[in-house]
């Protein structure tokens, strides 16, 4: 597998950095163009290959697309929003009318339908009529709740994209760290060979050989730990993509990254406009206001309007009887308003306050999170720049100098080992810092509510 990184940074700085890195990385292949530097690493050992070569490479964009299409958690929230979207028309409709068929005043001794004058068969229909304005309020409440649910889908989508990005970059880091361990193992084996050669001719110490072998064994142990963590991250990543946890994820050989300049105040303002969570809370606030209005409307009665037609049979003597028609209007009387309707108004008012406080609380939380993440991002950028332009080149030169000095017995072996280990640590820190910048950008994009990919 090749590792390729398009480095969109200052060309001259990267030329120096790549030149220094290449001296101790035999498998490093560098190609310079007028606009970019392409860095390729030769294939790592088979032990670090986590996927079958027939498996497709999973780019970051493809991972996001797969997660948005297949993640069951997101699908659940979408289904809930679709269900709520079907409620407003129901809430705004009149109750179904009632049809009744009654047999009235039937004598229990004879059950003769013709004997008594008041025996009749009645057909009727009635319709419940809420007080004017109540249906509109109920429909408005349901509409706002449905719109809030739609915003919750967008919020869940942002969270899912953030998790996919962060996990993808974590896998990317593990692959880079494992490659560095393979590179360092080769270098340590070279150091061991040099120490053994010096020991055989009486110019070195056996303890130098043993120390180098011990450090090489430590690298192997660290590699095992990284492989274990990589497999665990594979499982978590597959869950996000709705895949079998045991599936291996084959990372691409290319990764592009951007380090935009971010202004915290601009991020705060943008979050207020674009973050779906704010829109969701505002709609829930509107629904709470409508609930207060509806509770106040409950002081007014609801009505039931009905009509009926009663059919009577002729008398036993054949004399005709007149049929009856009836119209009914009934209403509920809120005589317990102090215990019911008034308390309901208080309840809805408190729920309205709850929604207002929830919106304010979310605002403060998101402000704090954006401020914290912006500071973390700036720190990670500075650390990345320091490692790239100062620490790694200096460590590279130090290792070269100590290696040359040790070969002519002018350098202490422990200093050489320590410096080489530090160099490995700095390289690992570089990839960790790079990963941190991209993970923090993913978190900030979720907090703001849109992709932060501008320069």
Report the 3 state secondary structure along 135-164. HHHHHHHHHHHHHHHHHHHHHHHHHHHHHH
First to last CA, the chain: 31
pLDDT tens figures, 122-176: 999 999 999 999 999 999 999 999 999 999 999 999 999 999 999 999 999 999 9
Q: Is there a single domain that holds both residue 282 and residue 311?
A: no
- 5 is a domain residue: no
- 406 is a domain residue: yes
Cα–Cα distance measured from residue 455 to residue 453, given in angstroms and rounded to the nearest whole number: 7
What is the model's pLDDT at position 9? 39
- 46 is a domain residue: no
- 14 is a domain residue: no
Grade residue 192 by pLDDT with cuts at 50, 70 and 90: confident
- 433 is a domain residue: yes
- 9 is a domain residue: no
What is the model's pLDDT at position 418? 85
Q: Is there a single domain that holds both residue 368 and residue 270?
A: yes
User: How many domains would you assign to the chain?
Assistant: 2
Q: Is there a single domain that holds both residue 279 and residue 389?
A: yes
Q: Is there a single domain that holds both residue 355 and residue 412?
A: yes
Domain boundary among 284, 316, 331: 331
Q: Is there a single domain that holds both residue 197 and residue 154?
A: yes
What is the model's pLDDT at position 113? 82
pLDDT tens figures, 292-330: 999 999 999 999 999 999 999 888 877 888 999 999 999
Q: Is there a single domain that holds both residue 383 and residue 323?
A: no
- The three-state DSSP-derived secondary structure of 342-393 is HHHHHHHHHHHHHHHHHHHHHHHHHHHHHHHHHHHHHHHHHHHHHHHHHHHH
For residue 30 the two structure tokens come to 């560098």
Q: Is there a single domain that holds both residue 412 and residue 437?
A: yes
- 264 is a domain residue: yes
- 394 is a domain residue: yes
pLDDT tens figures, 14-61: 344 344 444 444 444 444 443 333 444 443 333 334 444 446 788 999
pLDDT tens figures, 220-273: 999 999 999 999 999 999 999 999 888 888 887 678 888 999 999 999 999 999
Grade residue 4 by pLDDT with cuts at 50, 70 and 90: very low
Question: Domain of 140?
Answer: 61-89+134-295+338-448
* Residue 72 contacts residue 242 (beta carbons within 8 Å): yes
Q: Is there a single domain that holds both residue 310 and residue 205?
A: no
Q: Is there a single domain that holds both residue 120 and residue 162?
A: no
Domain boundary among 331, 353, 386: 331
CA distances from 179 to 2, 184, 267 (A): 11, 9, 36
Place of tokens 């705004």: 92
Residue among 44, 403, 43 at smallest CA distance from 190: 403
Q: Is there a single domain that holds both residue 169 and residue 83?
A: yes
In CATH, what number is assigned to the domain containing residue 66?
Answer: 1.20.1600.10
Q: Is there a single domain that holds both residue 233 and residue 370?
A: yes
Q: Is there a single domain that holds both residue 106 and residue 151?
A: no
């Amino acid at each position: 597998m090749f590792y390729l990184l398009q480095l969109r940074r200052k060309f001259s700085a990267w030329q120096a950095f790549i030149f220094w890195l290449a001296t101790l990385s035999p498998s490093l292949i560098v190609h310079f163009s007028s606009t970019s530097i392409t860095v390729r690493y030769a294939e790592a050992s088979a032990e670090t290959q986590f996927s079958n070569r027939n498996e497709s490479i999973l780019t970051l964009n493809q991972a996001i697309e797969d997660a948005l299409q297949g993640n069951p958690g997101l699908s659940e929230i979408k289904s809930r929003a679709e269900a709520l979207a079907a409620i407003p028309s129901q809430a705004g409709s009149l109750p179904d009318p009632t049809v009744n068929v009654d047999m009235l005043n039937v004598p229990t001794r004879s059950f003769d339908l013709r004997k008594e004058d008041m025996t009749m068969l009645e057909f009727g229909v009635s319709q419940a009529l809420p007080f004017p304005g109540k249906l509109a309020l109920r429909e408005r409440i349901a509409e706002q709740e449905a719109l809030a649910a739609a915003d919750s889908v967008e919020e869940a989508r942002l969270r899912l994209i953030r998790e996919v990005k962060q996990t993808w970059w974590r896998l990317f880091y593990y692959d880079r760290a494992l490659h560095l361990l393979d590179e360092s193992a080769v270098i340590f084996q070279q150091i061991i060979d040099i120490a053994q050669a010096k020991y055989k001719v009486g110019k070195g110490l056996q303890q130098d050989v043993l120390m180098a072998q011990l450090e090489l064994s430590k690298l192997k142990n660290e590699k095992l730990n990284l492989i274990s963590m990589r497999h665990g991250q594979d499982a978590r990543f597959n869950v996000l993509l709705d895949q079998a946890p045991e599936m291996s994820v084959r990372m691409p050989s290319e990764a592009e990254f951007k380090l935009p300049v971010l202004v915290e105040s601009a991020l705060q303002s943008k979050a207020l406009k674009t973050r779906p969570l704010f829109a969701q809370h505002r709609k829930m606030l509107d629904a709470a206001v409508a609930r207060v209005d509806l509770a106040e409307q409950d002081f007014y009665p609801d009505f039931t309007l009905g009509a009926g037609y009663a059919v009577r049979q002729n008398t036993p003597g054949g004399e005709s009887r007149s049929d009856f028609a009836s119209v009914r209007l009934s209403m509920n009387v809120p005589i317990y308003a102090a215990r019911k309707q008034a308390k309901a108004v208080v309840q809805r008012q408190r729920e309205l306050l709850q929604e207002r406080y929830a919106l304010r609380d979310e605002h403060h939380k998101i402000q704090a999170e954006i401020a914290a993440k912006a500071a973390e991002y700036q720190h990670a950028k500075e650390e990345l720049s320091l490692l790239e332009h100062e620490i790694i080149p200096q460590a590279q030169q130090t290792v070269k100098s100590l290696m040359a000095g040790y070969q002519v017995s002018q350098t202490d072996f422990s200093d050489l080992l320590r410096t080489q280990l530090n160099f490995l640590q700095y390289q690992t820190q570089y990839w960790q810092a790079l990963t941190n910048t991209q993970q923090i950008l993913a978190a900030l994009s979720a907090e703001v509510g849109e992709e932060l990919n501008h320069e």
